[in-house]
Structure 1
């Protein structure tokens, strides 16, 4: 039995759901930025849908690139006769714990990308709103977000372009429900929940997921004869 059979793809999806509480505060205002002007022939639903499609395309491409880079750069590492991808589920547990204890705010952020992102967004605003929404969605991964770039780092550990693309696609799908709600009712949502409450909900969910996933992995590993003694992925 492989460890993937006990974890499956759901941790990446759950990671997206947990971090979407943080992403809503950063990406939610983009709903106003890409909203069609009054009297425009484009509907808000169309623009928002293209924005989300652009995000998912970008995440998938970055995941495939990260997985390919991981395969080349990390493929030579051999720990306990396992590739590094063998430890990805445990790294996901660590990621959830870092979010739960707010250590993620210390993650490095490539702030130098922000001016470039702003310039590109300004140029995109001059385009028709549907195309603008799609381009802004594609550019969203450039936002200086510590947890997001930590997830990109985890995609490296898949050591496979296909698995890396799948990993980040599922992460993006996990962020989709809340961001869609925020975009649909941004003005009402903005003041409905305080940032402190959002942070507490996010930390609580991250801790619960870390405990559940950690326990499942622990009992799986020990059932195979000891930690990290299962069959290689």
Structure 2
């Protein structure tokens, strides 16, 4: 016997289940003496008999279950980063061009169709992180050594049914989780600052996850290591029983995997404060992830194997970008006013060349009080100016067609103001206490604007007030670029 011990760097491991999957697959190979996968370092240690098995078979076994071997390939990395940047650019272009705003809402008062779009956009991350599981359930590979082209095209399509059951399990799991966290949101009254902290943690997790997918960060905290051993054993026993239930049970377990976009959506469901709204939001999001996952399960084996690490790295760029967007949401929810990138507004535009700008709307001061009227459109809030020390009556006018589940609640963290909006005129009253920029947003922190508070607004001309850059008509939806 001629034994050899090697260390392989493997991408795509995210949890203990990935460790077990790789270890079990390798130990089933004839000639492998020992195998250990380490998710924290992204390494797999294998000892094998060179007389019985060669390194290429070991690498193929790992890649056939969806975990690409990391090899030094600068060209592939450049291609992956380029694809990732193109995905981000496509997202930004769609945002500022108003593509998301044109998506029809499920109902006038709910507006969850945007969540379906988010599911579609982030499903590439689902494929990168859970593609191996989807592949195993959809095409039903008979063993770790099965070749990618050992199944006929007709057989792959015949196995559509297991893939459907797997994705159905994911939908049921996501929806159930949405109901649970929605109930928690109804039980506990989370402040805007608390939601901001949670969103910041989710954003940090997504950025770290993207860095790990790129191979920049090797270590990653393992939740399982801090869970008491009895609970880990009980969870393992339940997991083993569910796996015997086939693709549907595996899909149920898949919904419990750590995932940055999924955790962000759970924050959305938490903020609804409703069992029904939380369940619906997660249900619609999960539907958006199904098409690509199902398609991947049927066609992934036809793709060149070298494309898998490229896909992982490209999705990492998108995940990190979404993490940065989540951080921006967290800042707004915490009452921090960020510089405006674009502000779409129905205010009067004054074109200057190719750039459109508008005077900041100013509150009317009379008899020691001030009033202001702003008109909101779908996905668009309006900045305005007010004076400190005077009671402010702010009237928000919005039509039933423009009101949806994203923009239907105003939050002003600095003054602890929350206002549910209804079609017609909505009145908010508070007194700005000091000069500065006061951030306000929708309840999710996705649609943003600000109130410029000055010490002496008086009857001075609007030209003396700061101007706000405005986007040309088209605007952004509730899932679009932060305002």
TM-score (norm 2): 0.35
Match of 1:136 in 2: 250
Report the more deviating stretch, 13-22 or 214-223: 214-223
Counterpart pick for 1:171 among 285, 292, 305 = 285
Counterpart pick for 1:197 among 314, 318, 339 = 314
SS at match of 2:307: coil
CA deviation digits over 1:106-148, x for unaligned, max 9?
A: 99774459987776565455x4xxx401110111122122332
More helix by share: 1
After superposition, residues 115-154 of structure 1 pair within 5 angstroms as 122-124=240-242, 127=244, 131-154=245-268
Match of 2:298 in 1: 184
Query: Are the structure 2 counterparts of residues 37 and 197 from structure 1 closer, same or farther at C-alpha, using a change threshold of 3 Å?
Result: closer
Question: Which whole-Å CA distance do the structure 1 matches of 2:241 and 2:289 have between them?
Answer: 26
Q: How far did 1:21 drift?
A: 1.5
Counterpart pick for 2:120 among 7, 17, 30 = 17
SS at match of 1:142: coil
1:63 has 2:157 as partner: no
Q: How far did 1:17 drift?
A: 2.2
Query: Are the structure 2 counterparts of residues 200 and 162 from structure 1 closer, same or farther at C-alpha, using a change threshold of 3 Å?
Result: same
Of structures 1 and 2, the one scoring higher in RCO (CA 8 A, sep 6+) is 1
Query: Are the structure 2 counterparts of residues 152 and 201 from structure 1 closer, same or farther at C-alpha, using a change threshold of 3 Å?
Result: closer
1:232 has 2:420 as partner: yes
Question: Which whole-Å CA distance do the structure 2 matches of 1:215 and 1:7 have between them?
Answer: 24
Q: Which has the larger radius of gyration?
A: 2
CA RMSD of aligned residues (A): 4.6
Q: How far did 1:177 drift?
A: 1.7
Report the more deviating stretch, 43-52 or 220-229: 220-229
Query: Are the structure 2 counterparts of residues 156 and 201 from structure 1 closer, same or farther at C-alpha, using a change threshold of 3 Å?
Result: closer
Counterpart pick for 1:158 among 257, 272, 275 = 272
TM-score (norm 1): 0.66
Counterpart pick for 2:381 among 220, 224, 233 = 220
Contact 1:70 1:160 in 2 (8 A): yes
Question: Which whole-Å CA distance do the structure 1 matches of 2:168 and 2:110 have between them?
Answer: 27
Question: Which whole-Å CA distance do the structure 2 matches of 1:196 and 1:105 have between them?
Answer: 8
Query: Are the structure 2 counterparts of residues 192 and 73 from structure 1 closer, same or farther at C-alpha, using a change threshold of 3 Å?
Result: same
Question: Which whole-Å CA distance do the structure 2 matches of 1:73 and 1:28 have between them?
Answer: 36
Q: Which runs of 5+ in 1 are unaligned?
A: none
Q: How far did 1:104 drift?
A: 5.8
CA deviation digits over 1:31-57, x for unaligned, max 9?
A: 3432436699x9410000011111101
Query: Are the structure 2 counterparts of residues 31 and 118 from structure 1 closer, same or farther at C-alpha, using a change threshold of 3 Å?
Result: farther
Contact 2:210 2:317 in 1 (8 A): no
Counterpart pick for 1:36 among 125, 131, 140 = 140
Query: Are the structure 2 counterparts of residues 173 and 116 from structure 1 closer, same or farther at C-alpha, using a change threshold of 3 Å?
Result: farther
Match of 1:102 in 2: 207
SS at match of 1:28: helix
Query: Are the structure 2 counterparts of residues 207 and 18 from structure 1 closer, same or farther at C-alpha, using a change threshold of 3 Å?
Result: farther
Contact 2:210 2:319 in 1 (8 A): no
